[in-house]
Structure 1
């Protein structure tokens, strides 16, 4: 019988982790997580990782934040607004300096198959992220993957916030994916229907028709603010809508009522930075 080979991936990440996160744990059995959205807040991070240690700020070079995919949890929790397209969640994607030929195609890069997970941008400003350690047990890794099911998991090398020097340890980050890769890697048809089809979602990644989920965006802004002025500035000015041009600062200036958005009472504490 001929050997079945996996389909080639649309996106190829250097330093992508396997589903055991092999090589990420340190000598003490801990792994580092780089947070870039709601995990910018230690209080928020402890909802998900109650045993985290050494919460601090850091930098991540060569990546940008973008609201360009949707999340099933927003529909399940009643905070998605499909009528206005405000259903988008946050990921990070690799960037490179823009070139004359790249700038013309930047807006379509999310849906065009590529061989590398790199997209052009006009800014190479480092992202301010949170960093913290959690146990790197088989159960904790499996729970992490189940919770962040739609993402790709990539090992990155964060830097010190003040001087930008490498910290000498790798961290896992939740990176952008494509629907083709997601379906092939982790979400066969029955699982897709259970997670996404039940909400009427036909596409998760590569969405040009989505805006940030209002309650989640407010939550992320407050989380960034709690980490300090550098983190807040980074989130506002180095985070983009799905067009990869409009910053969150510009989006909020157009619709400041987003910061008055209140989640349902059951989520009022959790979605509050």
Structure 2
């Protein structure tokens, strides 16, 4: 069973106790499996480590504007999705955990504004629960996002997507962005075979049925042979 509490605002995040005074812990389960990528977003992070989280599953169900502005979204094939997580009793996956200064919380919230923030308690890979909770970015619905978090309204918000005719953020009919998926897989692989196989078998496309390993065996062929564009080689290089 997923055990978590909802963090409504910056003060709720800031109130979380940390392993280091003045810091909070963040879970990374996709691009943030890579410490190099995490440092491109959080250059002053400390204590990067791996952990296990029970009661959640990873889904490629979030359509992020970042992929469009950087030219790596493919609207024709609908390969436009990034990862999120949602509570799900029968799943366990390996995550990274790292600590950021509490002064970075407002910037973190702005970067991840489409997500619901939850406080969770991971455990070490040998099964010992963490002393303090960590923040994880979880799935919303469009209705919840525009009701509780998006003050500017739908019309203004979707201007981020320009001419791409995207009118829904959280979807169950999209496929992983190829460059992003490749990066996530390489990042998992860099952490060892256990993390790599856990990602392949415990991350799902938006249908909630097809694992990434199964996806690579069917319509996701060739993704690992593709290079990211020059502008993203560091951030999405694995």
TM-score, length-scaled by structure 2: 0.92
How big is each residue's C-alpha offset from its partner over 1:107-149, in whole Å with a ceiling of 9 and x where there is no partner?
Answer: xxxxxxxxxxxxxxxxx34210001111012xx1111111112
How many angstroms apart in 2 are the aligned matches of 1:83 and 1:58? 37
Between the two proteins, the alignment pairs up a number of residues equal to 230
Q: Is the 8 A contact 2:37 2:234 kept in 1?
A: no
Residue in structure 2 matched with residue 173 of structure 1 by the alignment? 136
Residue in structure 2 matched with residue 9 of structure 1 by the alignment? none
Residue in structure 1 matched with residue 16 of structure 2 by the alignment? 24
Report the structure number with the largest CA radius of gyration. Answer: 1
Aligned pair in 2 of structure 1 residues 208, 259: CA closer, same or farther (>3 Å)?
same
Alignment counterpart, residue 44 of structure 1, candidates 31, 34, 37: 37
Residue in structure 2 matched with residue 133 of structure 1 by the alignment? 99
How far did residue 198 of structure 1 move? 4.9
How many angstroms apart in 1 are the aligned matches of 2:15 and 2:65? 30
How many angstroms apart in 2 are the aligned matches of 1:78 and 1:182? 25
How many angstroms apart in 2 are the aligned matches of 1:165 and 1:154? 20
How big is each residue's C-alpha offset from its partner over 1:179-226, in whole Å with a ceiling of 9 and x where there is no partner?
Answer: 001111122235413324653211111x22200000000000001111
Alignment counterpart, residue 185 of structure 1, candidates 141, 148, 157: 148
Runs of 5+ consecutive residues of structure 2 not aligned to the other structure:
none
What SS does the aligned partner of 2:143 have? helix
Alignment counterpart, residue 80 of structure 2, candidates 65, 81, 87: 87
Residue in structure 1 matched with residue 66 of structure 2 by the alignment? 73
Residue in structure 2 matched with residue 8 of structure 1 by the alignment? none
Q: Is the 8 A contact 1:210 1:242 kept in 2?
A: yes
What SS does the aligned partner of 1:199 have? coil
Residue in structure 1 matched with residue 165 of structure 2 by the alignment? 200
Residue in structure 2 matched with residue 100 of structure 1 by the alignment? none
1:61 aligns with 2:25: no
Query: Structure 1 or 2: larger strand share?
Result: 2
Residue in structure 2 matched with residue 34 of structure 1 by the alignment? 27
How many angstroms apart in 1 are the aligned matches of 2:16 and 2:41? 19
How many angstroms apart in 1 are the aligned matches of 2:194 and 2:81? 24
How many angstroms apart in 2 are the aligned matches of 1:94 and 1:43? 28
Q: Is the 8 A contact 1:72 1:199 kept in 2?
A: no
TM-score, length-scaled by structure 1: 0.80
